Amino acid sequence: MVINNFEVSKQCKLPLVSIIIPTYNAGKTLDKCLKSIFNQDYPNDKIEVIIIDGGSTDNTREIASHYKVRILKNPYRTQEGPNGGKAIGVKYSRGDILCFLDSDNIIYGSAWLRSMVYPLLEDENVVVCESSRILNKRDPAINRFCSYYVLETDTRDPFILLPRTKDRILKNKKQFYYTYYAINDIPCLANGSTIRANILKSVGGYDYDTDVIYRLVAKGHKLFAQSTCGGIHHLYVMSFSELITKAIKRIQGFLLRSERIGNKLFLSRRKSDLSIALIKALFPVKKFTFALSKVRESRDIAWLYYPVISFLVAIVYLLIFILYGGKNQGGV
């Protein structure tokens, strides 16, 4: 993977990019996130960073004030939803291209933003460019495993809807490739993605990361790109308790939003995936054997978390479905 070089002339006329970052008590990671943005070789006058803060009680706003950013208030604290932080950021953005980041996302590679914009300039039919993901071997073992858990097809959490593009490549260029999505198998709008502002607004703007891609594809906007230059490093979790908390929030979010057509589609598909995950979770010996093979392959003991975490997460999802599923799914 190329990290710092992107073979496009720096004299190329570049559009204004609005980078939208919802925050709430993000003091531990926000400085690293913002530094990685302003270390880009993209012209600073072509970058608009919008912080939408949900009333942080730590030093989040103080950290943000040290950078050239706009700070907006988010009265609802949440990132997602028609009144959430991302929607507020879209409403007040000025950029031709929008980029969504979380405060715990760190950009790797000074040419990353340029590489995320270029596919949208090269082909007017491309509506979204998705970022590669970066694994940092210096992270705590649990965060390293979470990176594997997200990226590995064989182990992926059934409610993490990241792009599954390798079998859908239409054109493979040197530093990015084109792909497409069908209406019955689409991801969420993942962190680090860039999207044309006018196209997003034409399909109703931003509400939920799952529904945005559904509406785009339903309207015929099926051509996507994925950059292989640099990528996003996610400081996902640092403890078991954080992992379980995030798992609970993820499944509750799906259930609470399942009445809309996009989430009905996702939920029905993920229920099937969950059933498979639960069956597999009941056979820890096989999972432990798989984990050992991955330890040998990657030389990383973080894989030993796999049998335990996959079992705990599957049980959490099952309990949430039992407790809340019938009430919120409306028969889905």
Q: Residue 17: name the closest of 188, 196, 178, 176 by CA.
A: 196
Instruction: Say if residue 84 is in the same domain as residue 183.
Output: yes
Instruction: Say if residue 156 is in the same domain as residue 208.
Output: yes
| Domain extent at residue 104 | 17-234
Instruction: Say if residue 147 is in the same domain as residue 287.
Output: no
| 129 assigned to some structural domain | yes
pLDDT at 196: 96
pLDDT at 240: 77
Instruction: Say if residue 277 is in the same domain as residue 191.
Output: no
Q: Specify the CATH number for the domain of residue 76.
A: 3.90.550.10
* pLDDT tens readout for residues 259-312: 554 555 555 555 556 566 666 666 677 778 888 988 898 898 888 888 887 777
pLDDT at 256: 58
pLDDT at 251: 65
pLDDT < 70 regions, the chain: 1-12, 150-177, 180, 182-185, 250-283, 316-317, 320-321, 323-332
Q: What is the pTM of this model?
A: 0.81
Handedness of CA 195, 196, 197, 198 (dihedral sign): negative
Instruction: Say if residue 62 is in the same domain as residue 167.
Output: yes
- Tell me how far CA of residue 252 lies from CA of 24, 246, 257, 258, 324, in angstroms: 19, 10, 8, 10, 8
Domain final residue, candidates 234, 253, 277: 234
Report residue 295 as tokens: 């330890």
Rounded distance between C-alpha atoms, residue 164 and residue 181, angstroms: 9
Q: Per the structure, how many domains does the chain have?
A: 2
Query: At residue 142, what are phi and psi to the nearest 5 degrees?
Result: -70, -35
Instruction: Say if residue 251 is in the same domain as residue 228.
Output: no
Instruction: Say if residue 131 is in the same domain as residue 108.
Output: yes
Instruction: Say if residue 145 is in the same domain as residue 248.
Output: no
Instruction: Say if residue 41 is in the same domain as residue 187.
Output: yes
pLDDT at 226: 87
Spatial contact of 23 and 53, defined as CB atoms under 8 Å apart = yes
Rounded distance between C-alpha atoms, residue 123 and residue 178, angstroms: 10
* pLDDT tens readout for residues 160-176: 545 554 445 445 555 66
Instruction: Say if residue 244 is in the same domain as residue 230.
Output: no
Domain final residue, candidates 212, 234, 256: 234
Instruction: Say if residue 190 is in the same domain as residue 255.
Output: no
| 135 assigned to some structural domain | yes
Instruction: Say if residue 288 is in the same domain as residue 220.
Output: no
| 308 assigned to some structural domain | yes
